[in-house]
Amino acid sequence: MQWARGMGAHAVAALVLLAPSAPYSHAVPVIAGVLLVYGLAVQATAIGGFFGRKSSAWIVGGSSVLALVALTGLAARDPETLQGLATRGELLLALFAHAVGGSFALLYFVMRRVRRLATRDALTGALNRVGFLEAAEAELSRARRSRSGIATLVLDIDRFKKVNDRFGHAVGDKVLTACAAAMRRALRKEDVLARFGGDEFVVLLPATTGAIAADLADRLRRTVADATYRIAGREIEISASIGVFATTGCVAPSLATMLERADEALREAKQAGRNRVRIVEPGTPGSRSRHASSPPAGPERLPIAQAVPV
């Protein structure tokens, strides 16, 4: 609404400058100048939404009053100069063009910021469900055209609810953020990482065969398990279970089906003991599994199963 008011003020200023000004030529710069300053102030307030309501009112009202006083004073002291500006409105027209151009530039950056907020998870910085579905559909279409391999991963942090129950949601959020950072280190640049909610993450692996998807998923599992999660001076042990569905573009089902099959593989991985990868490929009667070895020796680590009473 504020942005529209600012653009409206600019439009009226342009009409004032372009209208026949013989009867009121001395007032043209005052009217147009105030309108331009008012429009810029309103748009600046819309962009800087972090200001309080009182500050916004002072910006809009104060700048417009100052412009009115300054231009009216100039009209009283030096009417010939103001008359020159009225007959040669190039300066005010240039100011108007600058204001409109700057407005659209600011609007572009605001729209980019809004789009990022709409497609990114605020906590981890990974894509959210909307952003993932948009990116994944594009990759799936590319895989179908090129008949290349593609895979989806669904990852759950094991016993994450116990982390929240024992240490609180603030600590759980830190664990999620650290896990997401660890996943980025393990994934390739072209892979698409998203958080669907809670402790569930989803990854799309473009141009990937089943064997490569299994290797990447196992590397992802080991990276999450080997990362350090420090709570109150102690380290807790975090692991993840991963379900993988790998296919090729020539036989790829819908994205929803791929995610559903990967989710089924995830459930199998959890039922098989957690901290493992289960992979499903079209044409195979069942799923193949990769599971973890014992955690490496190091600083004192507190397994979640021991940290939280079941």
C-alpha span between 41 and 25 (Å, rounded) = 25
Nearest to 66 by CA among 20, 95, 34, 42: 34
Containing 70, the helix (H) or strand (E) segment is: helix 53-77
Any catalytic annotation for residue 158?
no
**Which tokens in the block code for residue 3?**
């942005």
Q: Which residue out of 121, 199, 226, 263 is catalytically annotated?
A: 199
C-alpha span between 69 and 62 (Å, rounded) = 11
For 122, phi then psi, to 5°, come to -65, -30
C-alpha span between 43 and 49 (Å, rounded) = 10
Please give the single-letter amino acid code of residue 22. A
Q: In what order do the strands lie in the sheet with 301-303?
A: 229-231, 234-237, 301-303
C-alpha span between 225 and 220 (Å, rounded) = 9
Q: Which residues are catalytic?
A: 199
